[in-house]
Amino acid sequence: MAAVRKSKFDRVFDGALYVILGFLALTYIYALIYVVSASFSDPNAVYSGRVVLWPVDFTLNGYERVFKEKMLWYGYGNSLLYMTVGSVVSTSFTLMGAYALSRKDLPGRGIITGLLVFTMFFSGGIIPLYLVVRSLSLIDTIWALVLPGAVSMSNVIIARTFYVSSIPTGLLDAAKIDGCNNVRFFFRVALPLSKAIIAVITLYYAVGLWNDYFNAMIYIKTREKYPLQLFLREILISSQQSSAMTGDVLEQEILAQLQEIIKYTLIVVGSVPLLLLYPFLQKYFVQGVLIGSLKE
């Protein structure tokens, strides 16, 4: 079959595919290169448009200034803490619950699943949720960021589908004969078999927690507890640069000049952890989508 010569139309078609897709890929790559280059360039060169592809008048001033900012390190530390604690809590809640729901012999399974799925389509909205968090005195604590969004129903569905389709029931029956109860079975058999799904779910939660600014904006009042994203928002978007970074007059002046590249520097600093990890983690993200699209 392969010997059939491509028709003229198909060859033109293929050519068009390469051009269009190549152009699309180029926009992503160019945006990345430009931002990195701008962050290493002289502010004047960026402002006057001399930076096109590679850094112009290479300088590390932007990074020096940004790394001197105490809040950045607080932000990194806090985000790391929130992400770690949050993903552990979320992943364990999700996996345990999803395993139970994957068991066809669990009485009430249908009703419980229905009640959980309902929350995907109907929610109380932010005010009633805020009042709950407030009445539990979680405001300004890490738990306000970890608990209110702890379990995402779509992750539960992904994990449940995984357990249904890849833990053979024969395994459970065999373990039961050996006198193994469900808890032991989960920890000794099901969990070791679900490394892939643990990676997928943990990553989804971790990325969500790392990227979130909204919950922190509502619930976190103390600046020293800000996660990185909230700090970035303060500088990059609220443009309260002068009030956020206090200093003497001279410093203000240098700052005004630097401002142009500081934005790019912060964009780089803010997305570096993910960009570095992305190539290694990509397959897990894709895996998650694929399992999620399976029907039980």
User: Interface residues for other proteins in 202-231 (CB under 8 A)?
Assistant: 207, 210-214, 218, 229
Which position among 84, 123, 169, 240 is part of the footprint of other proteins (CB under 8 A)? 123
280 belongs to the binding site for other proteins (CB under 8 A): no
Stretch that binds other proteins, among 23-31, 60-68, 160-168, 240-248 (CB under 8 A): 23-31
Contact range with other proteins by CB under 8 A, out of 27-35, 58-66, 161-169, 248-256: 27-35
Give the Cα separation of 222 and 159 in Å (integer). Answer: 36
Task: Note whether 231 and 192 are within 8 A (CB).
Answer: no
**Which is closer to other proteins, CB of 73 or CB of 214?**
214
Cα–Cα–Cα angle for 71, 268, 51, nearest 5°? 125
The answer to whether residue 174 forms part of the interface with other proteins (CB under 8 A) is no
- C-alpha–C-alpha distance, residues 154 and 160, integer Å: 10
Give yes or no for residue 119 binding other proteins (CB under 8 A).
yes
Q: To the nearest whole angstrom, how small is the minimum distance from the Cβ of residue 266 to other proteins? A: 7
Q: Does the protein bind other proteins through residue 111 (CB under 8 A)?
A: no
Distance, in Å, from the CA atom of 101 to the CA atom of 234, rounded to the nearest integer, reads 42
Q: Distances in Å between the alpha carbon of 15 and those of 22, 24, 41, 205?
A: 10, 14, 37, 40
Task: Note the Cα 84 to chain centre separation in Å.
Answer: 12
The amino acid present at 276, given as its one-letter code, is L
Which parts of 226-255 interact with other proteins (CB under 8 A)?
A: 229, 232-233, 236-237
Shortest reach from residue 249's CB to other proteins, in Å: 25
Among 81, 88, 139, 150, which residue sits at the site for other proteins (rule: CB under 8 A)?
150
88-to-3, 198, 206, 256 alpha-carbon distances in Å = 54, 10, 9, 42
- Mark the segment that binds other proteins (CB under 8 A) among 19-27, 55-63, 66-74, 243-251: 19-27
Stretch 68-97: interaction string toward other proteins, x if CB under 8 A: ------------------------xxx-xx
Q: Which residue number, 255 or 281, has a Cβ lying nearer to other proteins?
A: 281
Q: Is residue 95 within 8 Å of 198, Cβ to Cβ? A: yes
DSSP state of 6: P
The DSSP string of 196-230 is HHHHHHHHHHHHHHHH--HHHHHH---GGG--HHH
Which is closer to other proteins, CB of 24 or CB of 250?
A: 24
Residue 41 · residue 261 · CB < 8 Å: yes
Q: What are the backbone dihedrals phi and psi of residue 130, each rounded to the nearest 5 degrees, phi first?
A: -60, -40
Is residue 54 part of the contact set for other proteins (CB under 8 A)?
Answer: no
**Rg, the chain, Cα only:** 25
- Residue with Cβ nearer other proteins (189 or 207): 207
Minimum distance between the CB of residue 61 and other proteins, rounded to whole angstroms?
Answer: 17
Distance between CA atoms of 174 and 20, rounded to whole angstroms?
Answer: 55
The answer to whether residue 166 forms part of the interface with other proteins (CB under 8 A) is no
Of these, 127, 170, 249, 280, which contacts other proteins (CB under 8 A)?
127
Least Å from the CB of residue 33 to other proteins: 11
Q: Which helix (H) or strand (E) holds 143?
A: helix 143-146
**Residue 19 interacts with other proteins (CB under 8 A)?**
no
**148 lines the binding site for other proteins (CB under 8 A):** yes
